[in-house]
Structure 1
Amino acid sequence: MRWRQLKLYRFFWAFGLIIFSLVTGVVAYQVLEGYTLAEAFYMTVITVSTTGFAEVHPLSPEGRLFTSVYILANIGLLAYTVSVVSTYLFEGELRSIWKNYMNEREIKSFSGHVIVCGYGRNGSKATRDLLASGERIVVIEQNQELIAAGEPLQEGKLNFLLGDATEDLLLEQAGVRHAKALISTLPKDADNVFVALTARGLNPKLEIIARASEKTTEQKLFRAGANHVVMPDEIGGSHMASLITQPQVIHFLSLLNGSGPNKMHLEEVHLDQLAKDLRDLTIRELDLRNRTGATLIGLNRHGSEFLVSPDADTRLQAGDVLILLGSRGQIEAFTKIFAGSRV
C-alpha cells in the first residue's frame, strides 16, 4: 500500500494545489470586490485559465494587484501540474501503479509460497534456484533497479513487492501468514534479525532462513526465530580451502549444483506422498537402484533420527523422508513408479 501512496503523492499534491488556488481566488474576489459566489468563481476560472474574458465588474486597485500576483502564481502552478500529469500519462506511472495493484491482489491468493527478502547477490541466486524447483515466490526489494533486473525472470511464479522488508505491513502484503518459508538476505544483519522476529510473530509455523555476516549475529537470529542461519563468507572460505584439500569431493558436489545432462540431483521424498503400501517394506524390497537407477543415501525418521546409507533391511514407516541421489530422469522414474505403484 505504501508504494502506491508514494507514487500517487505528487499526483494528488498537484491537484490539491489547484483546488487550493481556486478556493483562494473565490474567497479573495468575494472579500476584495464584493462578488457573489458565482461571480467570484467565474472571475477565478478566467483568471487561472488566462482566457482574457471581460471582468464581471471593474476591479479596484487592490483587486488588480491581487489578480496580477494570482496570475503569476498560477502560471507556475499550472506548469507543475502539466508536468506531473504528463509523467503519469506518458511515462508509464499509471500503468506501473495498476500493475503493482494487480500484483498485490494476486499475492493475496497465495498459499504455501516462499518469501525472499532482498534481491541482491544471495537473494537473486536463491530465487533462480527456487524457480527452477517450481516454487512460487514473492520477492521484497526496495531498490527499483534490482526489481527491473529481475522482472525478465517472471514466469507466473515470481512476484515483486517494492518496499522495506522490515515493515510489518509489507510482510503481511507478501502473504507471510500463509507462506511456507521465508529467506532473508538483507545486507544488514540487524535488518535480518528484525525480519525474522516479525515473521515468526506473524506465522509461528514459518520456516525461516536468514543470512548473517557476523558470527555474533548467528545466535541473535536463532533467538529471533530463524530455523537456519547461513553465513556466505564462511561457506565461501571453507569451499576454497576444500578445493585444495578435497578437490574430488568438491567436483562431485559441483555436479549437484551444475547444469547439463550430467547434473545430479539430491531429492527429498516424503513417504506419505507415495503409495500407502510402500510403508512396512524394507529398502531391499523396494529395489530402488535396479528399478530406477536412483540411490537412497539417507533416511530421516520422523524428523528426529537421520540414517546415512541406511541398512537394506531397514523397514520404512509413515512419516519417513527419503533422500535420493540421481539424475533428473532417475528421480522422475522413481516418482512415476512409486507414486501410484502397488509394490
Structure 2
Amino acid sequence: MIRELPHLTRRSMASPWRMLAMRAGMALSLLAVAFCFLWFDRDGLKDNLDGVVTFADTLYFTMITVTTVGYGDIVPVTEKARLIDAFLLTPIRLFIWLIFLGTAFELLFKRVYERWRMKRIQEDLCNHVVIAGFGKNGSSTAERLLAGGLKPAELVVIDCCEKACEMARALGAAVIQGDASRDELLEAVRIGQARRLIVSAGRDDTGILIALSARKLAPGLPIAIAIRNQDNEDIAEAAGASQVVNPVTVTARLLAEG
C-alpha cells in the first residue's frame, strides 16, 4: 500500500478570504450602481401588476436583471430606460458574472491546481538543499545560501513552527511543517535525492535524531548539524553527521583569532 506523502507548501500571495471579501464588495458596489440608476429612472419602468414601481420593485428588478432571470412582470418601456439596460446594466451583469467565475476559480480550481503543482514539484525534487529547523541559525543559513546563488526552488525547509514555516515561504522555499526526524517527512522531501541536509533543530538530541533518520534513508548524503554542547559532537558524528558545527566553539575561535 502506497502512503500519501505530506504536501509541500509555498507562500500564498493573498488570503482566499480576503480575495473573497474584496470580490463580494465589488459585486455589491456594482449592484448599488445599477440600483441607483434604475431608481432615478424608475418612471421608465412599468410594473404589469399594479402599475406602480416602488423601492422594493426597483431592487427586485435590479436583481433579476443582473442575474438574467427576467420574469417579465417589470419591464423598461421608455427609450432612456432601455438604453440604461443596454449600456449600463449589461456591462455590470458581465462584470458580476466574471467576479463570480473568478471567485470559483480562485477557491476551487486554483486550489486543486496548486495542490497538483506542488505534488509535481515534490515528485521532481532533485539535487536540492534541505534545512531541518528554521530558527535563527537555520534562517541565517538559508539567506546565505540564497545570497550565494542557490535558487529558492532548490531550497526545502522542515520545521514544526508555523511562524518559522511562514518565514521560509517568504524566501520562496518549499516548506513542510512537521517533525524532521520522522521518516515520512524526510521521504516527502526526497532526502535520497538531496544535495545536502543542514540540521539546526535548536536541541542536540533532536538534531542527532534527525541525522540518524536521514542517514538511514540516505547513506551517502552530506549532513551538516549544529550542536550546542561540545560533549555531543562525537555523538553527532557517530549518528552520521558529515560536518558538526558548534556555534559556541566557532564564536570563541573567531574571537581568539581576532
Q: Name the aligned partner's letter for residue 170 of structure 2.
A: P
| Residue of structure 1 equivalent to 2:135 | 120
Say yes or no: does 1:239 pair with 2:254: yes
- CA–CA distance in structure 2, aligned partners of residues 97 and 213 of structure 1: 43
- Counterpart-to-counterpart distance in 2, 1:96 and 1:141: 23
Tell me how large the CA RMSD over aligned residues is: 2.6
- Higher relative contact order at CA 8 Å, sep ≥6: structure 1 or structure 2? 2
Gaps of 5+ in 2: 8-103
8 Å contact kept, 1:113–1:178 = yes
How many residue pairs match? The answer is 154
2:122–2:189 contact (8 Å) kept in structure 1: yes
- Aligned pair partner of 1:137 in 140, 155, 159: 155
Aligned equivalent of 1:150? 168
- How far residue 193 of structure 1 moved from its aligned partner, in angstroms, is 0.9
Q: Secondary structure at the match of 2:208?
A: helix
Q: Which amino acid aligns with 1:103?
A: M
Within 1, Cα distance between the matches of 2:239 and 2:226?
A: 13
**Number of the residue aligned with 1:103:** 118
Looking at structure 1, the residues matched to 189 and 233 of structure 2 have their Cα atoms a distance apart, in angstroms, of: 25
The answer on whether the counterparts of 1:118 and 1:185 sit within 8 Å (CA) in structure 2 is yes
TM-score normalized by structure 1? Answer: 0.41
Decide whether the 8 Å contact of 1:184 with 1:210 is kept in 2. Answer: yes
Deviation (angstroms), 1:2: 7.4
Task: Tell whether the 8 Å contact from 2:5 to 2:188 is kept in structure 1 after alignment.
Answer: no
In our comparison, the structure showing a higher alpha carbon Rg is: 1
Q: Distance in 2 between matches of 1:188 and 1:99?
A: 34
1:164 alignment partner in structure 2: 179
User: Matched residue of 1:166: which SS?
Assistant: coil
Aligned-partner residue type, residue 106 of structure 1:
I
**Equivalent pair of 2:179/2:185 in contact (CA under 8 Å):** yes
What is the alpha-carbon distance in structure 2 between the residues aligned to residue 223 and residue 234 of structure 1? 19
1:227 aligns with 2:245: no
Runs of 4+ aligned structure 1 residues displaced above 4 Å come to: 1-4, 94-101
What letter matches 2:252 in structure 1?
G
**Do the aligned partners of residues 104 and 134 (structure 1) sit closer, same or farther apart at CA in structure 2, a change above 3 Å counting?**
farther
Distance in 2, matches of 1:150 and 1:170, equals 17
How far apart, in 2, do the equivalents of 1:124 and 1:199 lie?
20
For 1:147, give the aligned amino acid: C
Q: CA deviation at 1:115?
A: 0.7
Rounded to whole Å, the distance in 1 between the matches of 2:229 and 2:126 is 33
- Do the aligned residues in 2 keep the contact of 1:104 with 1:173 (CA within 8 Å)? no
Asked if the contact 2:135–2:164 (Cα under 8 Å) also holds between the matched residues in 1, the reply is yes
What is the TM-score with the length of structure 2 in the denominator?
0.54
CA shift, 1:152, in A, is 2.3
The equivalent residue for 2:22 is: none
Give the secondary structure class of the aligned counterpart of 2:193.
Answer: coil
1:132 CA drift (Å) = 2.2
